[in-house]
Amino acid sequence: MAETKITMRILIDIGHPAHVHLFKNFSWEMQKKGHRILFTARYKEYEINLLRYYGFDYISFGKKNSSILSKITGLFKYNSKLLFISLKFKPDIFISHGSIHASQVSFILRKPHISLEDSGNMEQVRLYKPFTKAILTPDILPEDLGKKQIRYSAYHELFYLHPKYFRPNKNIYKGLNISENEPYCIIRFVAWKATHDYGHKGLLLSEKINLINMISKKLKVFISSESHLPEQFIQYKINIPPEKMHDALAFASLYIGEGATMASESGILGTPAIYINTIRRSYCEDQERFDLVSNFSNGKGVIEKALEILSIPNYKENLKNNVNELLNEKINPTPFFVWFVENYPESVKTMKENPDYQYRFK
């Protein structure tokens, strides 16, 4: 299929720091082809820092809402702001990771909205799906999202951590203020304020204390947290620019945390990961096939699993073959997505009629 030569104006709405990484290589590739990209964002953690660091054109809508009531009122506020911006920018297409705002505004303006989805949070999917033209999901996502769903063989984290796009930098040891090759562990705590977090949990405070005390006897410990850390944990807080986090994960001896994205990122980078959360994530469970991620619903058995990993000589070194097996099985999703967007809507028909077309993008 011949690629279109028509340039587009593309609006990408994001709501999480990982979404900046998710779309950055796609955006750079599209910009090389002459397309114009505008990001819109709500500040949650490091979104604005990352957009500024990578030099993208963006507009910030302020802080992200956390309570249920503020999320409801914020829906109208953000939709109004996005509509105003869109009328000025005149996008040909909207792209997001499940953005309710982008989907609804695109519908008002009669422009297509393409969503990437890997979590299957149905409380969000139900709100954006009616206004969305195509929903691209990893083929391992168990949820059936209907005729708009297009499955591809990759994880979201491969959009930015595929070896074609990412090479870890050892200068991270200087940033962490430790000697080169000193073993360390990254522990991640989430804030439990997202809509999909309601009713779910990870580690109890007592379990966090026990975990840190035990691991710190074996490794240097660094904590990454979405929310303010208790006083007894401040000494472990990681202090690096957000764009350096993947370097830190790549050279870590172990990742332990409530965050699924970082667990998946660690696994792809060859760092053994332990994910603790009652929310099951298909991409983390899929990586368990390669012994890259271990999944737990609570803190029971986590310390034992961590100590088991740390007791095996060359454990991380031996994971390199596992990572290669994973990469050989998956596609490189960035060039696939570039093709899909540039050739939309014909690309939808192509994928429906011949799903194996995606394997041209290895």
- My answer on whether omega of the bond before 345 falls inside 30° of 0, hence cis, is yes
Average pLDDT over residues 120-142: 94
Contact 178, 150 (CB under 8 A): no
Q: What are phi and psi of 23, to 5 degrees?
A: -105, 0
Helix axes of 100-108 and 68-89: crossing angle, nearest 10 degrees: 40
Burial environment of residue 53 by CB neighbours within 10 A (0 to 12, 13 to 18, 19 or more): middle
184 SS3 class: strand
**Sorting pLDDT into bands at 50, 70 and 90, what band is 228?**
confident
Distance between CA 41 and CA 55 in Å, rounded? 14
Out of 9-18, 70-79, 151-160, 335-344, least confident range: 70-79
43 SS3 class: strand
Average pLDDT over residues 335-345: 98
Burial environment of residue 189 by CB neighbours within 10 A (0 to 12, 13 to 18, 19 or more): buried
Q: Which residue has the higher pLDDT, 191 or 168?
A: 168
Distance between CA 178 and CA 220 in Å, rounded? 9
In this predicted structure, what is the pLDDT of residue 192?
Answer: 45
Residue 18's alpha-carbon distances to 51, 55, 135, in angstroms, are 11, 16, 18
**Sorting pLDDT into bands at 50, 70 and 90, what band is 66?**
low
pLDDT higher than threshold 90 for residue 85 = yes
pLDDT higher than threshold 80 for residue 314 = yes
In this predicted structure, what is the pLDDT of residue 4?
Answer: 46
Q: Which residue spans of the chain are classified as CATH 3.40.50.2000? A: 9-154+331-360, 172-328
Distance between CA 201 and CA 321 in Å, rounded? 33
In this predicted structure, what is the pLDDT of residue 16?
Answer: 85
pLDDT in tens, 86-99: 999 999 999 999 99
Distance between CA 292 and CA 309 in Å, rounded? 11
**Sorting pLDDT into bands at 50, 70 and 90, what band is 46?**
confident
Residue 127 tokens read as 């709100």
Q: Which residue has the higher pLDDT, 191 or 345?
A: 345
pLDDT in tens, 266-311: 999 999 999 999 999 999 999 999 999 999 999 999 999 999 999 9
In this predicted structure, what is the pLDDT of residue 68?
Answer: 54
Q: What is the mean pLDDT of the chain?
A: 92
Q: Where are the beta strands (DSSP E) in 145-253?
A: 149-152, 184-189, 220-225
CATH number given to 172-328: 3.40.50.2000
Burial environment of residue 311 by CB neighbours within 10 A (0 to 12, 13 to 18, 19 or more): exposed
In this predicted structure, what is the pLDDT of residue 73?
Answer: 64
pTM comes to 0.90
Distance between CA 233 and CA 244 in Å, rounded? 21
The type of residue at 195 is: T
Average pLDDT over residues 135-149: 97
Distance between CA 109 and CA 106 in Å, rounded? 5
Average pLDDT over residues 20-24: 97
With pLDDT > 70 as the criterion, what percentage of the chain qualifies?
Answer: 91
Return the C-alpha torsion angle 32, 35, 36, 38, nearest 10: -90
User: What superfamily in CATH does domain 9-154+331-360 come from?
Assistant: Glycogen Phosphorylase B; (3.40.50.2000)
Contact 21, 160 (CB under 8 A): yes
